Structure 1
Amino acid sequence: MGPVANVHADTLLIVGDSLSAAHGIEREAGWVALLRERVGDAHEVVNASISGDTTSGGAARLPDLLERHSPDIVLLELGGNDGLRGLSPQQMKLNLRTMIEKSQAADARVLLLGIEIPPNYGAAYTDAFRGVFRQLSEEYAVPLVPFILDGVALQDDMMQEDGIHPNAAAQPTILDNVWEKLGPMLSRDTDRNE
């Protein structure tokens, strides 16, 4: 007989872009690595984030990731590159909707991690972009972190020189932003398993 495993160690799958892939900093300093430290052995954390990824790339990769990892919770952190490229918010919404539906069909709960884009894209575009996350959260009753970089963006001491990517000092704040919604999801799992 092999070693006894945890009764139930949830698998958390992060599907994101450079914000979750620790672009420009040591991978161990990124918020996903800090999350792994915070949850310890109670949960397996799989980081399937790729710098530069868009919602269409994530939607294409997701079915294989769901099959390979059988996650209990999927954290979707995509959309920033769609916005920076000026891609249609309607297409972004369709891609995220597909990812939410595929995750839920695989019996995974979803946490949506929202992002905002700079105001120089114009009020109509930035409002439509921001609205995508809120509308999907309401439509599918999934928790939403409205802006993963809340308290980080526009803070010179927390951003890399490119002004787009957060530095290592910002990562604990990003994790706290995520944890505000993820923590209760994990507590519910603990309560259910007792």
Structure 2
Amino acid sequence: MFLWGLLAMLLAAAPLAAAERPLVLVMGDSLSAAYGIEREAGWVHLLAERLDGKARVVNACISGETSSGGAARLPELLRQHAPDIVLLELGGNDGLRGLPPGQLRANLATMIEASRAAGAEVLLLGIDVPPNYGPAYRDAFTGVFQRLADRYSVPLVPFLLEGVALDHGLMQADGIHPTAAAQPAILANVWPALAPLLEADLAQTEAAH
């Protein structure tokens, strides 16, 4: 409760200059790129609205992106934006294509290490694959996120679509992508893990202001 109160106070404080505001970089695929809905309805845009100008949000998500594509793009994005926090929401397309979980693990590890080397905190956003991929592959796939979180001591949202994926009313006709109505629930899944990182960055920025 104290954390939420402090964060609310920081968000309500006097506006900072653009260059002083913490920057959140979101690296993801269609789940965060607002596929099939208006971009303004997506959870990343809703996050920016919640932050109300106290932090900047860069949505670098691309529909169809794999962890390999994200790992290739990230160095330039880190150089260009110098983010304070990097959200890694990748792996869904790796899973749907049946790519080796070890490849996903290596790519995400590379992205975590690159983000930290650039001075950014990292939040992992986990994803799942449908049961028809078989229990062995599914367990190996979902286990990647927890193992990385443990190895690098980074916060983890175990399943980005918790409370959404199995609710047909919140999914588009393809059964893969959430509707606009689902986006606030997705943000609600992310926020408890993201808020402490934002609180630390905002407090540091306010102290230096």
How far does residue 6 in structure 1 lie from its aligned partner after superposition? 5.5
Match of 1:62 in 2: 74
Match of 2:10 in 1: none
**Structure 2: segments with no counterpart, 5+ residues:** 1-15
* Whole-Å separation in 2 of the counterparts to 1:192 and 1:10: 10
* Whole-Å separation in 1 of the counterparts to 2:173 and 2:144: 29
1:53 partnered with 2:65: yes
* Whole-Å separation in 2 of the counterparts to 1:167 and 1:5: 34
Match of 2:110 in 1: 98
Determine if contact 1:89/1:129 at 8 Å carries over to the other structure: yes
* Whole-Å separation in 2 of the counterparts to 1:16 and 1:6: 24
Match of 1:184 in 2: 196
* Corresponding pairs, count: 191
How far does residue 180 in structure 1 lie from its aligned partner after superposition? 1.1
Q: Which amino acid aligns with 1:73?
A: I
Instruction: Report runs of 4+ in structure 1 exceeding 6 Å deviation.
Output: none
Q: Which amino acid aligns with 2:197?
A: M
Determine if contact 2:22/2:202 at 8 Å carries over to the other structure: no
Deviations 1:27-52 (A, max 9, x none): 00000000010001110100000000
- Shifted more, 183-192 versus 142-151: the winner is 183-192
Match of 1:173 in 2: 185
Determine if contact 2:75/2:114 at 8 Å carries over to the other structure: yes
Match of 1:35 in 2: 47
How far does residue 192 in structure 1 lie from its aligned partner after superposition? 2.8
Match of 1:140 in 2: 152
Secondary structure of the 1:75 match is: strand
Aligned ranges for residues 148-163 of structure 1 at < 5 Å?
A: 148-163=160-175
Match of 2:7 in 1: none
Alignment identity in percent?
Answer: 64
TM-score by length of 2: 0.89
Match of 2:134 in 1: 122
**Structure 1: segments with no counterpart, 5+ residues:** none
How far does residue 172 in structure 1 lie from its aligned partner after superposition? 0.1
Determine if contact 1:11/1:45 at 8 Å carries over to the other structure: yes
How far does residue 174 in structure 1 lie from its aligned partner after superposition? 0.2
Determine if contact 1:154/1:163 at 8 Å carries over to the other structure: no
* Whole-Å separation in 1 of the counterparts to 2:57 and 2:201: 15
* Whole-Å separation in 2 of the counterparts to 1:8 and 1:37: 18
* Whole-Å separation in 2 of the counterparts to 1:189 and 1:103: 15
Determine if contact 1:11/1:73 at 8 Å carries over to the other structure: yes
Q: Which amino acid aligns with 1:120?
A: N
How far does residue 56 in structure 1 lie from its aligned partner after superposition? 0.1
Q: Structure with the greater relative contact order (CA < 8 A, sep ≥ 6): 1 or 2?
A: 2
* Whole-Å separation in 1 of the counterparts to 2:152 and 2:123: 11
